[in-house]
């Protein structure tokens, strides 16, 4: 596998350092891209797609609106496709009308796996004195559009677009030596998966690895000199 990458960006600071904005445009061209494909039985076979291109735009910004309140934004647009992949494995049950000819399909021009077109996060944090202590609160939302999980672009194993909400509430000492926090992740309890494919030896069946559901954590921190 060989890759040629290009990137052009700008970093800026405004409002006396309270506003930071970074923008980058990128393009990566892959030759003989390595692709791992399930063989339909018990193993994965590593092969090569002839060519692929991944390109897009990334933006990240942070704004210290007040001494206590901060906003953060990260956003990305991604166009990642196989330029030439005429020997891709067919997904189970794929017919000739759906593009499977001689046990292979042509995925040229189709999206690569794990490549959502849109993704990003937005968050806010707030910190104020609380007597001799400090109170900290933060919330963020992470979102992504749909993407294929397996390399054969099986429509039965697609992760749909989703957004997850996380939050954190903490109390710390004035000198920041210790902190106790309660953290909530995936507060809306969205059901998502990070991997899935055909189920070995059971044609027509699939498996998924499920991400962590709604969860809460109590975190303690002590800093030594």
Give the E-state strand segments of the chain in sequence order. 2-14, 19-38, 44-64, 69-84, 88-89, 104-105, 118-130, 133-144, 147-148, 158-159, 162-173, 178-185, 193-198, 206-210, 215-222
**pLDDT of amino acid 187:** 98
Spatial separation of the C-alpha atoms in residues 50 and 110, rounded to whole Å: 13
Q: What predicted TM-score, i.e. pTM, was given to this entire model?
A: 0.90
By three-state DSSP, how is residue 82 classified? strand
**pLDDT of amino acid 42:** 60
Spatial separation of the C-alpha atoms in residues 144 and 161, rounded to whole Å: 5
> Cα dist. 139→122, 182, 196 in Å?
9, 12, 30
pLDDT band of residue 43 (cuts 50, 70, 90) is low
Taking only the tens place, the pLDDT of each residue in 185-223 is: 999 999 999 998 887 777 788 989 999 999 999 999 999
Taking only the tens place, the pLDDT of each residue in 72-103 is: 999 999 999 999 999 888 888 899 999 999 98
Taking only the tens place, the pLDDT of each residue in 141-184 is: 999 999 999 889 999 999 999 999 999 999 999 999 999 999 99
**pLDDT of amino acid 39:** 60
Main-chain phi, psi angles of 115, to 5 degrees = -130, 75
CA atoms within 13 A on the CB side of 1: 14
Which residues, 6 or more positions from 197, have their beta carbon under 8 angstroms from its beta carbon? Answer: 38, 149, 150, 154, 157, 206, 207
């Amino acid at each position: 596998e060989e890759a040629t990458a290009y990137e052009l960006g700008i970093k800026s600071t405004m409002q006396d350092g309270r506003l930071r904005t970074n923008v980058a445009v990128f393009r990566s061209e892959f030759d003989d891209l390595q692709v791992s494909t399930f063989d339909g039985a018990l193993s994965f076979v590593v092969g090569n797609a002839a060519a692929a291109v991944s390109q897009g735009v990334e933006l990240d910004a942070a704004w210290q609106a007040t001494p206590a309140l901060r906003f953060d934004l990260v956003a990305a647009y991604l166009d990642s496709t196989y330029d030439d992949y005429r020997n891709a494995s067919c997904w189970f049950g794929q017919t000739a009308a759906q593009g499977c000819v001689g046990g292979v399909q042509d995925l040229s021009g189709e999206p690569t796996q794990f490549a959502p077109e849109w993704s990003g996060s937005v968050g806010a944090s707030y910190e104020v004195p609380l007597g001799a202590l400090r109170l900290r609160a933060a919330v963020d939302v992470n979102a992504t559009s749909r993407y294929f999980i397996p390399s054969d672009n099986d429509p039965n194993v697609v992760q749909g677009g989703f957004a997850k909400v996380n939050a954190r509430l903490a109390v710390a000492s004035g000198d920041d030596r210790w902190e106790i926090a309660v953290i909530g992740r995936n507060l809306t309890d969205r059901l998502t998966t990070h991997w899935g494919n055909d189920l070995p030896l059971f044609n027509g069946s699939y498996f998924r690895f499920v991400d962590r559901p709604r969860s809460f954590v109590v975190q303690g921190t002590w800093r030594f000199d």
